[in-house]
């Protein structure tokens, strides 16, 4: 009987060390910067998973900014947190586009959040000098998102799964007010397109799943050629950037 008690005590100690070893915080982070101030986008993504005694939490965060003709504007920003603290469960989410809250909520049961939206982020014009001639460029950048997440809240823990995609693209035109000259404008402005795809579950003693970040191809080319009598006299390249599609593991549990 004494040996059995020793074996049981050793097993309990081993399990206690294992459970304690799982407790803590794990996180993933990624930042991106495409193009330049004439045409581009930048932003960050982060995922945080936390567990400890009687507590489980998952955080998702994304922020983005677009840039066009030396102006910048907030793009898509969203945050989502699922939490189970000693049985008190909540899912809190907020979506902002162009600096304005377009959807937010707090739930205490499992919930599916779905939201598509498109907005104009920047509409502007600027004058640049091509050789000796001033040229006026006008254009706009639009952005949007399509989110579909399932927040899982149950007595054992929390989970988040789904997809959130965001994008920004633009268009431009140019004109010159000098007689005898005309302009040729190249405007290829796929500034950004990304998606955050988590499938994560956390309990006080376990965690599993992953969160992947997908970048679609980016193509940014904004250039002007000044012409007369079908001859190119001057050329100005304002933005030139490209990146292929790629997938990055933001978090692996």
Query: Given a cut of 50, is residue 5 above it in pLDDT?
Result: no
Q: Quick one: CA dihedral 11, 14, 17, 18, positive or negative? A: negative
Tens of pLDDT, residues 53-73? 999 999 999 999 999 999 999
Query: Given a cut of 60, is residue 234 above it in pLDDT?
Result: yes
9 vs 127: which has the higher pLDDT: 127
Q: How confident is the model at residue 10 (pLDDT cuts 50, 70, 90)?
A: very low
Tokens of 49: 């998973």
Tens of pLDDT, residues 27-63? 999 999 999 999 999 999 999 999 999 999 999 999 9
Query: Given a cut of 80, is residue 18 above it in pLDDT?
Result: no
Spatial CB neighbours of 200, under 8 Å, sequence gap ≥ 6: 47, 49, 58, 159, 160, 161, 207, 208, 209, 210, 211, 251, 253
pLDDT value of residue 22 = 65
What's the distance, CA 99 to chain centroid?
15
pLDDT value of residue 3 = 44
1 vs 124: which has the higher pLDDT: 124
Domain residue limits, the chain: 23-252
pLDDT value of residue 174 = 93
Tens of pLDDT, residues 238-247? 999 999 999 9
Tens of pLDDT, residues 133-188? 999 999 999 999 999 999 999 998 999 999 999 999 999 999 887 787 889 999 99
pTM of the model: 0.85
- Is 18 exposed, middle or buried, given 0-12, 13-18 or 19+ CB atoms closer than 10 A? exposed
CA–CA separation, 83 and 230 (whole Å):
65
- Mean pLDDT on 76-83: 97
pLDDT value of residue 218 = 97
**3-state SS track over the chain:** CHHHHHHHHHHHHHHHHHHHHHCEEEEEEEEEEEECCCEEEEEEEEEEEEEECCEEEEEEEEEEEEEECCEEEECEEEEEEEEEECCEEEEEEEEEECCEEEEEEEECCCEEEEEEEEEEEEEEEEEEEECCEEEEEEEEEEEEEEEEEEEEEECCEEEEEEEEEEEEEEEEEEEECCCCCEEEEEEEEEEEEEEEEEEEEECCCCEEEEEEEEECCEEEEEEEEEEECCEEEEEEEEEEEEECCEEEEEEEC
């Amino acid at each position: 009987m004494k040996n059995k008690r020793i074996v049981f005590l050793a097993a309990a100690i081993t399990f206690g060390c294992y459970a304690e070893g799982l407790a803590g915080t794990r996180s993933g982070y990624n930042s991106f910067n495409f193009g330049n101030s004439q045409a581009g986008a930048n932003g960050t993504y982060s995922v945080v998973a936390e567990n400890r005694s009687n507590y489980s939490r998952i955080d998702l965060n994304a922020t983005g900014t677009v840039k066009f003709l030396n102006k910048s504007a907030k793009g898509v920003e969203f945050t989502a947190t699922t939490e189970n603290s000693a049985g008190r469960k909540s899912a809190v989410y907020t979506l902002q586009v162009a600096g304005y809250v377009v959807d937010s909520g707090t739930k205490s049961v499992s919930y599916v959040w779905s939201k598509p939206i498109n907005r104009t982020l920047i509409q502007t014009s600027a004058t640049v000098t091509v050789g000796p001639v001033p040229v006026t460029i006008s254009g706009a950048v639009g952005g949007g998102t399509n989110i579909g997440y399932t927040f899982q809240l149950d007595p054992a823990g929390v989970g988040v799964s789904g997809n959130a995609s965001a994008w920004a693209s633009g268009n431009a035109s140019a004109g010159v007010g000098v007689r005898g000259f005309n302009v040729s404008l190249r405007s290829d402005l796929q500034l950004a397109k990304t998606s955050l795809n988590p499938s994560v579950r956390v309990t006080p003693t376990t965690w599993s799943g992953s969160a992947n970040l997908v970048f679609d191809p980016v193509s940014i080319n904004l250039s002007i050629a000044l012409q007369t009598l079908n001859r190119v006299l001057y050329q100005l390249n304002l933005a030139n950037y490209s990146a292929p599609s790629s997938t990055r593991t933001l978090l692996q549990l």
